[in-house]
C-alpha cells in the first residue's frame, strides 16, 4: 500500500472594513519541491475577516479534492489565522453561530485524519494573502479574480515545507490586517522599490502615498472606576458578586465624564453589562446627554473559583492551576472559568460588531482590564503573553482606531491624566 500523497494548503482571507468587501485566496503546494499545484481566489462581497478566512480554507481543501479525487492524501493546512487553526484543530470551542456551518463544511471535504493545521506568521503566508487581495481588488472593480492575470505566485518567494516538520505555535493572526497587507493590496496598482535587505519583492507604500481610507471607527476604551476589590487586587470577573463602584470609583467616573465633555469627541457609549461598568458609563452618559448601549461581549473574564481571591491566595490554594493558566492562553481558571483564548474569541466578535455599527464614528467602550488588553493586543498583533505586560489603571483611557482596510492603529494606552 503506497504512502499518502503529501500536500500543503496555504489559505487566507481578508475584509476591508471587517465587515466590508471581502475575499479569500488559497494555494495547493507540493512540499517536495515547493511547486504550486493550484491557486484559487474569490471576491465574496461583504463579510468579516473570519468568514473570509474560513472560505479560503474551504476553497483550498476543495482544490485538493478536485486535484486528487482518487488518491490518499495527507494535507498540512498553514494559515495565519489563529482562530481558524485552533477551532479546526479542536482546541478552541466554536461559539459564534456564523462560524459553525463554515467549520463543519471544511471538516466534511476530506477525512479528519488526513488534515492537520499549523499556525504560521503572516509574513510566511504571502502567496495566499496576495491572492485574497487580488480577489478584493477585482471585486472593487466590479469583477472576479482572473487566474490568468494573477501575479501572486511569481511575486512570492517560496520556502520549501518539510512534510514531517512539527507544527508550530504562535501568536494569533486573526486580528485585523496589518501594514504588509495594505502594501500587498496596492502592489498591482503602484510599483515601488523593495525594502533594503528584504528577501521579499512585496512593493512598499509610503505614508505619503497611502490611500485616503476615510474616518475610522474609533474606540475610546475606558476601564471602570474602582470597586472595594480593586485596591486589594482581588480577582473580580464576571462570575463573582458584581460589585458596585466605591466612593473613589464614583469620583473617577465623574472625572472621566468631565474630561470627555471637554473634548467633545464621544458620539456613542457602549458598556459591559456588569454593574461597575454600567455605573461608570452612566456617569459619563448623564454628563454628555447620551444613551448607554450594553454589549455582552465586553464583560470581564469569568475567573471561576478564583473570584474574590488575591493572587497570593490563588497561588496557595490552586498553585498548579495558576501556573498552567499563566503559561497558556488556552488554560482556564479553576472551577469552569474562561481561558484567555475564549475571551479573545468573544471580544473579537464584539469588536467586529461594533466596528460595523460605528464605522466613521467615535464610541466610548466602558469595559474591564482583560477586554481592553485583548483589544490592544489584537490591534498590535502581539502574542498572548503580552496581556501580562500591560498596566491598566482604574478609570484609565486607551484608544484604538480601525480603518476601512481593516488596519488598526493604537493611539493611546493607560492615560490617567484626567484623574490628576
| Joined grid coordinates for residue 131 | 491572492
Whole-number Å distance between alpha carbons of 136 and 25: 10
Whole-number Å distance between alpha carbons of 144 and 138: 5
Residue reference for cell 485574497: 132
**CA dist 290 → 74, 256, 267, 287, 302 (Å):** 56, 15, 8, 8, 29
Residue 224 annotated to the active site: yes
Phi–psi pair at 383, nearest 5 degrees: -70, 165
3 state DSSP class of 250 = helix
Containing 133, the helix (H) or strand (E) segment is: helix 126-140
Buried b (16+ CB within 10 A) or exposed e, 226-237: bbbbbeeebbbb
Residue reference for cell 501556573: 323
Whole-number Å distance between alpha carbons of 263 and 220: 12
Whole-number Å distance between alpha carbons of 29 and 103: 22
Q: Which of 53, 86, 300, 307 is catalytic?
A: 300
Whole-number Å distance between alpha carbons of 126 and 12: 9
3 state DSSP class of 6 = strand
Show Cβ contacts of residue 389 under 8 Å, excluding neighbours closer than 6 positions: none
Q: Which of 10, 39, 53, 224 is catalytic?
A: 224
**What residues does 7 pair with on adjacent strands?**
75
Whole-number Å distance between alpha carbons of 148 and 159: 23
**Are 372 and 223 a contacting pair, CB within 8 Å?**
yes
Where in 188-257 does DSSP place strands (E)? 217-223
Q: What is the dihedral of CA 86, 87, 89, 91, to 10 degrees?
A: 70
Residue 251 annotated to the active site: no
3 state DSSP class of 30 = strand
| Joined grid coordinates for residue 168 | 508550530
List active site positions: 224, 300
Amino acid at each position: 500500500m503506497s504512502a499518502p500523497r503529501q500536500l500543503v494548503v496555504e489559505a487566507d482571507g481578508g475584509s476591508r472594513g471587517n465587515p466590508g468587501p471581502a475575499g479569500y485566496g488559497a494555494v495547493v503546494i507540493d512540499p517536495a519541491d515547493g511547486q504550486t499545484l493550484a491557486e484559487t481566489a474569490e471576491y465574496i462581497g461583504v463579510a468579516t475577516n473570519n468568514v473570509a478566512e474560513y472560505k479560503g480554507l474551504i476553497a483550498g481543501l476543495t482544490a485538493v479534492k478536485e486535484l486528487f479525487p482518487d488518491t490518499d492524501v495527507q494535507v498540512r493546512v498553514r494559515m495565519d489565522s489563529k482562530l481558524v487553526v485552533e477551532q479546526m484543530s479542536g482546541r478552541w470551542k466554536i461559539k459564534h453561530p456564523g462560524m459553525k456551518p463554515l467549520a463543519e463544511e471544511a471538516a466534511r471535504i476530506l477525512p479528519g485524519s488526513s488534515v492537520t493545521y499549523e499556525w504560521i506568521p503572516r509574513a510566511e503566508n504571502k502567496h495566499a494573502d496576495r491572492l485574497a487581495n487580488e480577489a478584493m481588488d477585482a471585486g472593487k472593480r466590479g469583477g472576479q479574480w482572473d487566474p490568468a492575470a494573477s501575479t501572486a505566485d511569481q511575486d512570492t518567494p517560496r520556502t520549501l515545507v518539510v512534510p514531517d516538520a512539527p507544527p508550530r505555535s504562535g501568536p494569533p493572526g486573526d486580528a485585523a490586517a496589518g501594514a504588509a497587507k495594505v502594501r500587498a493590496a496596492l502592489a498591482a496598482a503602484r510599483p515601488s522599490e523593495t525594502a533594503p535587505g528584504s528577501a521579499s519583492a512585496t512593493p512598499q507604500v509610503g505614508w505619503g502615498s497611502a490611500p485616503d481610507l476615510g474616518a475610522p471607527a474609533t474606540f475610546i476604551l475606558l476601564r471602570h472606576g474602582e470597586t472595594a476589590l480593586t485596591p486589594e487586587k482581588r480577582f473580580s470577573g464576571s462570575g463573582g458578586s458584581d460589585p458596585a463602584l466605591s466612593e473613589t470609583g464614583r469620583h473617577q467616573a465623574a472625572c472621566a465624564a468631565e474630561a470627555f465633555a471637554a473634548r467633545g469627541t464621544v458620539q456613542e457609549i457602549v458598556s459591559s453589562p456588569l454593574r461597575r461598568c454600567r455605573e461608570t458609563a452612566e456617569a459619563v452618559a448623564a454628563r454628555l446627554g447620551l444613551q448607554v448601549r450594553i454589549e455582552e461581549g465586553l464583560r470581564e473574564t469569568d475567573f471561576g473559583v478564583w473570584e474574590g481571591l488575591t493572587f497570593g491566595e490563588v497561588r496557595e490554594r490552586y498553585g498548579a492551576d495558576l501556573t498552567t493558566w499563566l503559561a497558556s492562553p488556552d488554560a482556564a481558571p479553576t472551577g469552569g472559568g474562561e481561558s484567555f483564548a475564549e475571551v479573545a474569541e468573544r471580544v473579537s466578535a464584539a469588536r467586529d460588531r461594533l466596528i460595523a455599527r460605528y464605522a466613521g464614528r467615535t464610541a466610548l467602550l466602558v469595559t474591564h482590564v482583560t477586554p481592553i488588553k485583548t483589544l490592544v493586543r489584537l490591534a498590535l498583533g502581539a502574542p498572548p503573553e503580552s496581556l501580562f505586560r500591560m498596566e491598566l489603571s482604574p478609570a484609565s483611557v486607551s484608544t484604538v482606531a480601525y480603518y476601512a482596510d481593516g488596519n488598526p492603529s493604537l493611539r493611546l494606552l493607560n492615560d490617567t491624566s484626567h484623574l490628576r
